[in-house]
Amino acid sequence: TGSKPQKEGKEPPGPKPLPLLGNLLTLDLTRAFDTFFELSKTYGNIFQVSLGPKKTVVLVGYKTVKEALVNQAEEFGERDIGHSFRIMNDEHGIVFSNGENWKEMRRFALSNLRDFGMGKRGSEEKIIEEIQYLKGEFDKFEGKPFDTTQPVNYAVSNIISSIVYGSRFEYTDPQFTEMVDRANENVRVSGSTSMMLYNIFPWLGPFLKNKKIILHNILQNRQQMMNLINGLLDTLNPHDRRGFVDSFLIRKQSEEKSGKKDSYFHQENLMISVANLFVAGTDTTGTTLRWGLMLMAKYPHIQDRVHEEIDRVIGGRQPVVEDRKKLPYTDAVIHETQRLANIVPLSLPHVTSCDVTFNGYFIKKGTTVIPLLMSVLKDPSEWEKPNSFYPEHFLDEKGQFVKRDAFMPFSAGRRVCLGESLARMELFLFFTSLLQSYRFTTPPGVSGDELDLKGVVGITLNPSPHKLCAIRRS
């Protein structure tokens, strides 16, 4: 495996492409990740498909994905910004930018997430406060069946909102709830077949309803964000920063004052970074938590063991981050939820930053690369029961928690999820606190078999629509 630019060699194998359409006729874009996983059985762990005229290399399995993203981090560490993401991000912000712009924005966001509490007590307190509001919402249903989507998303969104804006919002505030709902709709619609086709054939744009939906949502959310940011600007106090937006505004003003040329701290980067953090911080964590609650209803005997452990170790007091070490079974259940739920199956697209030779194959600069995270989380050579909900994947024979290398739901390398430690803290506190208070069941007359594990595909993989009962345990 070499990492320097080399002269052309053998390209990765793959199905034979047709002119113009490439392999589009034989790929099922509604569940592209399943199709890719299937193709790897024929073509191996590094193969290429042509999406229209565009060559895309797919990396399959723990070993291959790790070797590319970690061992050849520079070559595989750039973001492929397709048309559908360009209309939302304009190559600014954190998620869909590259080069110096990306480096500056990522670094700034990371240091602010730390300052405003990621991995520290600040966030822990915010999360614990938010859990009380969420329980209030669950209690309103008095044990009757309800859809968990909105309350869970609003609660989770308030965590990143208080880090970004410096305050939480009421679940009855339509400005806030509409912003969350629109962001989630965009995540779902961006992963649709029509938007994948748009990335391949941009001339389709004017005909696509989904593109209209996305643009409409972006416009509305930008207006809303502008209002919030302007409100913060009016009351800005450099000695009392409330959140990420304040820090950015202060940095922006100071670079303007000093006459710094080509500063990255401009309005566009502010808007897009805020939108990135808001979207990335809401849908992912909310979706994972909802998978967790659904899996508890589906597998009541596993829920029983979680209840037993929480009751024995925590009793009635509020769970805190420190408790994680003492709750190996619950921790294993949360990890196994993330593994099986597989909520970002294709990761986000990468692109080669230079000509690369990888495992003997030549991959040209500018080739789209899909690190198939699904194939890592369900790699049959890494997991004993890849397709089952089996918390024992993360437990040794003494019942102690064990880390697993192939646990890679946050991806790896230069582009690894920026919010990983925040997300992990949220998942632990939300899940443990909710399980302490409730038993989750299917609605009367609905059997657990009716809760399906296939999910609904967008950029993230959501549980299929379902209702649960949250029954108070005492």
Which residue's entry shows tokens 């990765």?
12
Q: How far apart are CA 46 and CA 60, in angstroms?
A: 6
Residue nearer to ligand HEM on the CB measure, 51 or 95 = 95
Distance of CA 297 to the CA centre of its chain: 23
Q: Which stretch binds ligand HEM (CB under 6 A): 234-242, 315-323, 356-364, 406-414?
A: 406-414
| C-beta closer to ligand HEM: residue 215 or 416 | 416
**H or E element, residue 381:** none
Interface segment toward ligand HEM; rule CB under 6 A; list 20-28, 48-56, 125-133, 278-286: 278-286
Residues β-bridged to residue 456: 462
Contact code string over 435-474 relative to ligand HEM, x by CB under 6 A: ----------------------------------------
Out of 347, 352, 441, 462, point to the residue binding ligand HEM (CB under 6 A): 347
Q: Which stretch binds ligand HEM (CB under 6 A): 3-11, 30-38, 188-196, 405-413?
A: 405-413
In angstroms, the CA 137 to CA 134 distance is 5
Q: Which of 22, 409, 455, 458 binds ligand HEM (CB under 6 A)?
A: 409
Determine if 415 is a binding residue for ligand HEM (CB under 6 A): yes
Residues 98-127 that bind ligand HEM (CB under 6 A): 106, 113
Closest CA to 108 of 218, 269, 267: 269
- 26-61 burial, b if ≥16 CB within 10 A, otherwise e? ebebebbbebbbebbeebbbbbbbbbbeebbbbbbb
Binding ligand HEM (rule: CB under 6 A), the pick from 157, 411, 432, 437 is 411
Nearer to ligand HEM, 217 or 276 (CB): 276
Shortest distance (Å) from residue 414 CB to ligand HEM: 7
Question: Does 327 interact with ligand HEM (rule: CB under 6 A)?
Answer: no
Cα distances (angstroms) measured from residue 227 to each of 86, 170, 174, 231, 233:
23, 17, 14, 6, 10
* Of the candidate residues 297, 374, 376, 422, the single one contacting ligand HEM (CB under 6 A): 422
Q: Which two tokens stand for residue 326?
A: 């003492």
Beta carbon nearer to ligand HEM, 285 or 433: 285
Residue the block writes with tokens 């890719």: 36
Smaller CB distance to ligand HEM: residue 280 or 451?
280
Q: Could you tell me the smallest distance in angstroms from the CB atom of residue 290 to ligand HEM?
A: 11
Residue 421 CA to residue 326 CA, distance in Å, equals 19
Distant-in-sequence, close-in-space partners of 474: CB < 8 Å, separation ≥ 6: none
Binding residue count for ligand HEM, defined by CB under 6 A: 28
Binding status of residue 276 toward ligand HEM by CB under 6 A: yes
- For position 89 contacting ligand HEM by CB under 6 A, the verdict is no
**Which position's Cβ is nearest ligand HEM?**
419
Give the dihedral sign, CA 457/280/371/405. Answer: negative
| Backbone angle region of 366, left / alpha / beta, with phi > 0 → left and psi within -120 to 50 → alpha | left
For 93, the 3-state DSSP assignment is coil
State the residues that interact with ligand HEM by CB under 6 A: 79, 94-95, 106, 113, 160, 276-277, 280-281, 284-285, 288, 343-344, 347-348, 371, 409-411, 415-419, 422-423
